[in-house]
Structure 1
């Protein structure tokens, strides 16, 4: 019995370490790495203490700009690689939770492997595209199962750069690439 316990304990510990090691880059509904729907702005620096954070803060209610920008926290690895852009729900409020996280690093991925380098074929095979909205330069795909939006350039859709043509899921080429990938925490 004792001889069996040692390999079992080692196996369990190994599994725990492997799973913990990958969680830094996991994406799921309401989760991007260590960030969740309960994470506040004041926790960002602690979560990314090994990385660099560039804060782009709005003027808030005191500013004279009618079109207020959101606060943004750009997270970079020490080597300079852009990982994420985090936007809080409330501006200039360290206790605010997060509104959205835009993904820039291919290591962040869902359980099915969806990441910023995925093609439309990979998106469509493992996720349900609930809605497509067209703009002048791109189409935005809404994935309710992740509470995410994915943007694809008109160029990858075979459309003119500035087109008002409505796009459907069936029209999107399998090899169309992701322009942006955002997880929403609302």
Structure 2
């Protein structure tokens, strides 16, 4: 009887460890991988990968449309309950066999192996990544080469006015500055 109970206890612990590890992979960000998505994932596969979630497809008119300045296709992934998880952009518009160009992260549960996530501060990002910086009119973009990602920080977080042409260096970014967007690129 004791052996059966010990075996059951070991089986339960093993199952819990297995489930928790697979759940961590669901939200893991690596170079060329975001959760279950890889560089080889096609738009056609999204319905199966996110079968328990909701997908909103904002498709462009492509070359057939009248609007030359229209947006690209977007696949917005929502968890049941309405939480926005990801926005996926394909490489080719109106092509279900296209692979992924980029994924914008909208949920802080998605994390890198160094624990960088949507809620991370600049100090946390800078400590483990040593990003390159580029300034735009309204934000500062940090390039994380080790995972091929970009992070935007609003200039207001830096105490600067939007639409300012002022260049910003890493040293000028406050440690507590929060990111505005987190995009992983698949190219």
Please indicate, yes or no, whether the TM-score normalized by the shorter chain is above 0.5: yes
Residue deviations 1:51-100 (CA, integer Å, cap 9, x gap): 11111001011112222421000011111111100000000000000000
Which residue in 1 is equivalent to 2:171?
170
Which residue in 2 is equivalent to 1:106?
108
Q: Once structures 1 and 2 are overlaid, which stretch shifts more, 101-110 or 64-73? A: 64-73
CA–CA distance in structure 2, aligned partners of residues 111 and 160 of structure 1: 34
In the TM superposition, 1:5-154 aligns within 5 A as 14-129=16-131, 131-154=132-155
CA–CA distance in structure 1, aligned partners of residues 82 and 12 of structure 2: 37
Q: Once structures 1 and 2 are overlaid, which stretch shifts more, 79-88 or 155-164? A: 155-164
Length, aligned pairs only: 182
Structure 1 length-normalised TM: 0.91
Assess if the C-alpha contact under 8 Å between 1:128 and 1:145 holds in 2: no
* Corresponding residue SS for 2:60: coil
Mark the CA change 1:9 to 1:76 in structure 2 (over 3 Å): closer, same or farther. closer
Residue deviations 1:135-163 (CA, integer Å, cap 9, x gap): 11101111100100000000001111221
Alpha-carbon shift at residue 12 of structure 1 (Å): 5.7
Alpha-carbon shift at residue 128 of structure 1 (Å): 2.3
Unaligned runs of 5+ in 2: none
CA–CA distance in structure 2, aligned partners of residues 25 and 64 of structure 1: 39
Structure 2 length-normalised TM: 0.91
CA–CA distance in structure 2, aligned partners of residues 20 and 34 of structure 1: 10
Unaligned runs of 5+ in 1: none
Aligned-residue CA RMSD in angstroms?
1.7
* Corresponding residue SS for 1:43: helix
